[in-house]
Chain A
């Protein structure tokens, strides 16, 4: 199957700082990428849909000024958590869509905000 990578795999930061997470499709071009958030023992919560070259579409309740998404190329999307606070600590996962519907997920990034 298609391979999606994320970097970093884990990050610890101080409250008030910003953190950038990269999502790359390694062996295919993805016109659409998705960002999810997952709390322990819960399902994936879609945060936003990212289309190459256009602004991301955020789900209801997700602050677009706090979670900045950039999809600059067909193989790279970034999520920046601005002014992070402890409640932003979570597992962030991206996915990339191949063809009409199949999504392949990255390995996730664990963010801990102290």
Chain B
């Protein structure tokens, strides 16, 4: 079955700097890659997703890149702000199948 590895587990960046979180997946059939942000005591919130037919997607300060050959995808957050502090989860799935989550990255934005 699919396995998703996520790094780093913890990331601290200075406010205004960029943050990058990387994930790898094992099943080459996976074609959908969402990213979720989870704040303390709340459910995960979908922040961006990418499908296998594109290599990059951007939404304001957030971007995701996908390398199907290498089976890895990354989340990039630019101009980080205090409200970006949260736990971020990457995930992978084959359409209509269950989503497999990474173990999460705890992002701290330092003042």
Which residues of A come within 8 Å of B, CB atoms?
1, 4, 6, 34, 42-44, 46, 49, 93, 100-108, 110
Query: In this complex, what residue of B is CB-closest to A103?
Result: B99
Name the distance in Å between A103's Cβ and chain B's nearest Cβ. Answer: 6
Residues of B within 8 A of A (CB): 32, 34, 36, 41-46, 49, 89, 93, 95-96, 98-99, 101-104
Given contacts A93-B44, A105-B36, contact A44 B101 (CB under 8 A): yes
Q: B48 to nearest A CB, angstroms?
A: 11
Pair A100/B95 contact, Cβ less than 8 Å: yes
With A43-B89, A43-B103, A101-B32 in contact, is A106–B43 under 8 Å at CB?
yes
Q: Assess the A44–B44 pair: CB atoms within 8 A.
A: yes
Give the distance in Å from the alpha carbon of A13 to the alpha carbon of B8 in the complex.
Answer: 37
Question: Among the listed B43, B95, B98, B104, which residue makes an inter-chain contact with A49, where contact means beta carbons less than 8 Å apart?
Answer: B98
A43-B103, A105-B45, A108-B43 known, 13 other contacts, Cβ within 8 Å: A34-B99, A43-B89, A44-B44, A44-B101, A102-B34, A102-B49, A105-B36, A105-B43, A105-B44, A105-B46, A107-B43, A108-B41, A108-B42
The 8 A-B residue pairs with the shortest CB-CB distance in the complex, in nearest-first order: A105-B43, A101-B32, A108-B43, A107-B43, A105-B44, A100-B95, A43-B103, A43-B101
Contact: A43 with B102, CB < 8 Å? yes
Report B-chain residues with C-beta under 8 Å of the C-beta of A106.
43
B84 CB, nearest partner CB in chain A, Å: 18
**Which residues of chain B have C-beta atoms less than 8 A from A44's C-beta?**
44, 89, 101
